[in-house]
Amino acid sequence: MIRSAYAMSLAARVGGLPVKASWTYIDGMPGLNAQLDSWLLGALDTKAAASGERYRPAMALNTRPATAIGPGTTLTAEPVAASGRVIVYRETENNTLPNGTSSVTSQTVYADTNTGQVHRAADLLRPEALPRIHTLLSNTAGYNPKPLPNEAAPLDIVLDDQGALRITTAQTGTGNRPARTATATIPAQEAESALGEFGRNVLSQLRSHAPVELPPAATQAFRHVNCDIVPCAALTYDDGPDPRSTPRLLAILREKKVSATFFMLGIKAAANPAIARQVSNAGHAIGNHTYSHPNLTMLSAAGIMNEIGRAQASIQAATGPAPTFMRPPYGATNATVRQAVGLPLINWSVDSLDWQSRDPNVFVPKVLQEITPGAIVIMHDIHATTIAGQTWLITALQSQGYHLVNVPELFEGTPLVTGQTYRSRPQRW
């Protein structure tokens, strides 16, 4: 229905109970994605707080989705309609407690693709129309939520393309009477006078059945993932691009749908511009790893700036954009380096030592042992043995629940500052 939409899922254990979530992000709609995230994170934090915990992405590691129906939570957020400049999203939370009590709550939000703003369902209605809506609801057979909501906020309202309002409220249930939602429909002729300006705009968009008008998506090397919700790690590959091994790595990353980060040497990018361009075109992020791999702490400020500047120029000549972050060779920094590089410095939290062992049977178990959510893993795409271990490593990480993201994606929400050194994504707590 919407190009540039992509599905996400999560299986976690929070407070001993399973939580399953599935939702859909839309590229180019950061406000909508942020609304989804705050809804998800709010639900996860509430679950965790109920058992005296704080939600951490680590709770979603090594977790299989629960198959049996039993206590737990299911969170679902999907677009239910999209036309012209409007995307309608429905967010539903199903809870079953160990004592058999269950509840269903839902809300519908309306995203304006023109302004990027996300509106609550209540924004559809004129405030003065609420008493009339409630009278209509209470007269609807079968619609008997107790108490009847006295304001629009708890109402989940879906406006359809004919102008009718489908209104849902939450119901709780017990073991033999499971939770259900109560739904009432207010026909278009009754609903018309209740719609405010925003509601009338949404209706005219839905009536048009036009293709969705989306703003341009973010740059190719960036896709929204919230690493406070799902466990993330960034695989990084240094010292290339290499004409033999880098294309083989790209094929593995494409097959496994992994976005990675390549810290390129300027001298290699200049020698292999087509490979550098392949990396960029595949949607991976590229960082500056200096021109010729010196230990920057041995250089003057002018020498450091020369190494960074020449690498920026050759990477930019090969790929188009200039890198916005760098990694110092050997991870070596000091005050002069931090001052002179003019970019954020990205080191690592997990050292594969792939260059030392040259053996997947050594470096893959080492990475799997040391990795935690938010980690940055250093490897080198210039060794055949490194490439030989990637399918194993990636398959193992993904089966544990890791989302393998690139450096800008890993740090989304925590802006990278020039001259600062980073080793992993800071966790919320």
Contact 333, 408 (CB under 8 A): no
Q: Does 351 bind Ni ion (CB under 5 A)?
A: no
Catalytic-labelled residue, pool 119, 224, 289, 380: 380
Number of residues engaging Ni ion in binding (CB under 5 A): 3
The residue number with the shortest CB distance to Ni ion is 238
Which of 230, 276 has the CB closer to Ni ion?
276
Q: Report in angstroms how near the CB of residue 304 gets to Ni ion at its nearest.
A: 15
Q: Report in angstroms how near the CB of residue 349 gets to Ni ion at its nearest.
A: 16
Which of 93, 354 has the CB closer to Ni ion?
354
Q: Report in angstroms how near the CB of residue 26 gets to Ni ion at its nearest.
A: 37
Dihedral of CA atoms 85, 118, 408, 308 in degrees, nearest 10, equals 70
Which of 214, 382 has the CB closer to Ni ion?
382
Which of 32, 378 has the CB closer to Ni ion?
378
Which of 91, 238 has the CB closer to Ni ion?
238
41: left (phi over 0), alpha (psi -120 to 50) or beta: alpha
Query: Tokens 């929070």 belong to which residue?
Result: 14
Q: Does 239 bind Ni ion (CB under 5 A)?
A: yes
Please tell me whether residue 330 adopts helix, strand or coil conformation.
Answer: helix
Q: Report in angstroms how near the CB of residue 307 gets to Ni ion at its nearest.
A: 12
Q: Report in angstroms how near the CB of residue 263 gets to Ni ion at its nearest.
A: 7
Closest among 252, 275, 411 to 345, alpha carbons compared? 411
- Give 403's strand partners: 232
Sign of the alpha-carbon torsion through 285, 331, 229, 8? positive
Range 278-337, binding Ni ion (CB under 5 A): 329
Which of 121, 264 has the CB closer to Ni ion?
264
Closest among 330, 295, 285, 293 to 311, alpha carbons compared? 293
Closest among 51, 44, 52, 50 to 73, alpha carbons compared? 44
Query: Tokens 């040259």 belong to which residue?
Result: 358
Q: Report in angstroms how near the CB of residue 9 gets to Ni ion at its nearest.
A: 35
Does residue 238 carry a catalytic annotation?
A: yes
* CA distance linking residue 19 with residue 74, whole number of Å: 6
From the list 156-164, 236-244, 247-255, 304-312, the region that binds Ni ion by CB under 5 A is 236-244
Q: Report in angstroms how near the CB of residue 371 gets to Ni ion at its nearest.
A: 20
Strand order in the sheet with 182-186: 156-159, 165-169, 182-186
Q: Does 381 bind Ni ion (CB under 5 A)?
A: no
Q: Look up residue 364 and give its two tokens.
A: 């893959």
Does residue 284 carry a catalytic annotation?
A: no
- Following DSSP, what letter does each residue of 49-113 receive, concatenated? HHTT----GGGGTT-PPP-S--SEEEEEEEEEEEETTEEEEEEEEEEE-TTS-EEEEEEEEEEET
Q: Does 242 bind Ni ion (CB under 5 A)?
A: no
Closest among 213, 24, 35, 210 to 115, alpha carbons compared? 213
Q: Look up residue 166 and give its two tokens.
A: 């489908």
Q: Give the DSSP H or E segment for 313.
A: helix 301-319
Measure Cα distances from 419 to 263, 283, 330, 378 in Å: 17, 26, 17, 20
Which of 150, 295 has the CB closer to Ni ion?
295
Q: Does 238 bind Ni ion (CB under 5 A)?
A: yes
Contact 26, 5 (CB under 8 A): yes
Catalytic-labelled residue, pool 228, 238, 242, 354: 238
Q: Report in angstroms how near the CB of residue 318 gets to Ni ion at its nearest.
A: 18
Which of 11, 264 has the CB closer to Ni ion?
264
Residues marked active site are found at 238, 380
**Which residue ranges make up the site for Ni ion (CB under 5 A)?**
238-239, 329
